Amino acid sequence: MKNLSSLKFRKILNDLKRRPEDAAEELGVTESSIQNILQGKEEVSFELIKKAVSVWPVNYSDFFFVTDDTKNDYKIFRSSESNTSKRKMYRNGKPYYLYKDTVMSKISSFRPEWIQQLSVVNDDSPDNPDVVFNNGHFLHQFTYFIGPVNFYYVENGVKKIAKMNTGDSMYIGPYIPHTFTTRKNDENILGHILALTYSDKVDSENINEVVAIGKKLSPKFKINSSNEVKAFKENLIMYLKASSITKEIFQEFSNLNLDDLLEDKNIPNFTSLKKISNTLDINLRDLLPPIKNFSVKIKRYNDNKKWFYPSSKSKFYSITELASVNQLPNSKSLELTVLTNEEMEEDLEVPRHQYLYNIGDTETKIKIDKKIIEKFSPGDSIYMKPNIKHKFIGKSKILILRIGGKISGDVLYQLSMVSDENFSRLIEDNQPWFNK
């Protein structure tokens, strides 16, 4: 990979249609300095970035790539490293949680923690004074439970409780107040959880745009996702507004009556949907937005779908699907049990960012990209980039969370439109937009 700052700078010049001599004049530097940056001989100074932000319609973030802190496309965090991050949290002046970090990478949005519940309760009331709720947080959260843990949350203004045990899991959405305690038990063990928080399609970059548009205008983007009919109608109205198409023009182009569509208690049939998508020149899928079904979803371990991989005849892995929600289709949580010490011929190749944690009692090995073998001990965690080949060797139990990151949905479809030749330019392009 060439000098990253030169690639970013070249992209900015190309997007703004600035030649090196134009950039030099507008930024108050010599043309040779601009050429040195483009050739990777000189870094872009922060003073130059400040000047560019002040004179061009660009942001500071446009000048920086995401830092890749992986080695060989993965990053491992040992149990011993996790233990050095221990920190005790207090609520109402009493010990409440013991936190430990697990693996995090700068190129994914995983923010996962191991959390032990230090507050032991004698009842299952969410009004117990020893139960202290948080205010909720922006990140989505998948949680895996180990031991006798009470999970409390607020839904529609009502405090609720779920008694969770080892293997149970849940999803909780942004800004839902919640908390956890250990349920009193004869063994006097403290429960703990793996709280895997992450952002999906709405991240800090999206929020920056929402903030810039402002409190007055940004809420107008929202569509009612409480049911599929309301979501369809509001989404259709948004596309009509975006194209400045009135109901009269819509009927002329589609031969459909808009008032009838909006008064209907059902989504139009497939033929009508095709007419609408052709009229608006959009994809059929864009007319059917996802529905928000869950703010909180609890999955009991015995209620989960389970299967053998790669097949019921060839049982190398046993896979249990844990809590997931359809509004986040690219996020999947799994418990994977390695059933044999033999090496399976087939590799896993997952088109998602992956977080893995050894929740079992035995060490296993991970073979990565057909050549690297890493020991994976209890309490270790690993982040893996999408599409890297890997397999597990040695009986063990592994918790897995897969998320789409930025390269999924519409972004994936648009990237797929770029030819193979130009895809390499997308990754590493230092050509001007025209040759003199």
pLDDT > 70 in the chain, percent: 99
pLDDT in tens, 185-243: 999 999 999 999 999 988 888 888 899 999 999 999 988 888 889 999 999 999 999 99
**In the structure encoding, which two tokens stand for residue 93, read together?**
């002046």
pLDDT in tens, 274-328: 999 999 999 998 998 887 777 999 999 999 999 999 999 999 999 999 999 988 8
pLDDT in tens, 357-372: 999 999 999 999 999 9
Beta strand pairing status for 348-349 and 140-146?
unpaired
For residue 6, CA distances in Å to 31, 50, 68, 278, 421 come to 14, 16, 17, 42, 21
**In the structure encoding, which two tokens stand for residue 392, read together?**
């597990």
* Alpha carbon distance 2, 41 (integer Å): 11
Band of the pLDDT at 49, cuts 50, 70, 90? Answer: very high
Which pLDDT value is given to residue 294?
A: 79
DSSP for residue 302? G
The three-state secondary structure class of 27 is helix
Model pTM?
0.90
Helix 20-27 × helix 31-38 angle, to 10°:
120
Our CA angle for 184, 186, 191, nearest 5°, is 50
Structural element, H or E, at residue 343:
none
pLDDT in tens, 308-319: 999 999 999 999
| Contacts (Cβ under 8 Å, ≥6 apart) of 327 | 225, 290, 291, 292, 293, 294
Radius of gyration of the chain (CA): 26
Amino acid 289 reads: P
Residue 349: name the closest of 390, 310, 383, 403 by CA. Answer: 390
Structural element, H or E, at residue 349:
strand 348-349
Residue 28: name the closest of 64, 58, 54, 62 by CA. Answer: 54
Is residue 1 pLDDT above 60, yes or no?
A: no
pLDDT in tens, 370-395: 999 999 999 999 999 999 999 999 99
**Average pLDDT score over residue span 79-94:** 96
3-state percent breakdown (helix, strand, coil) of the chain, nearest 5: 30, 30, 45
Band of the pLDDT at 255, cuts 50, 70, 90? Answer: very high
Amino acid 200 reads: D
Beta strand pairing status for 364-368 and 389-393?
antiparallel
* Contact criterion met (CB below 8 Å) for 295 and 176: yes
Amino acid 270 reads: F
* Alpha carbon distance 190, 117 (integer Å): 6
Which residue is it, tokens 């439109």? 417
pLDDT > 90 in the chain, percent: 83
Compute how many other C-beta atoms are within 10 angstroms of the C-beta atom of residue 65: 11
The three-state secondary structure class of 49 is helix
Residue 348: name the closest of 399, 403, 390, 312 by CA. Answer: 390
**In the structure encoding, which two tokens stand for residue 303, read together?**
């209620």
Maximum C-alpha span of the chain: 80
The three-state secondary structure class of 374 is strand
**In the structure encoding, which two tokens stand for residue 133, read together?**
């709720």
For residue 322, CA distances in Å to 143, 309, 317, 387 come to 10, 16, 15, 22
* Alpha carbon distance 300, 191 (integer Å): 16
CA atoms 120, 125, 129, 135: torsion sign: positive
**Which one is predicted more confidently, 17 or 227?**
17
**In the structure encoding, which two tokens stand for residue 131, read together?**
């139960």
| Residue ranges of domains in the chain, CATH in brackets | 4-65+407-427 (1.10.260.40), 205-287 (1.10.260.40)
Beta strand pairing status for 87-91 and 149-155?
unpaired
The pLDDT mean for the chain works out to: 94
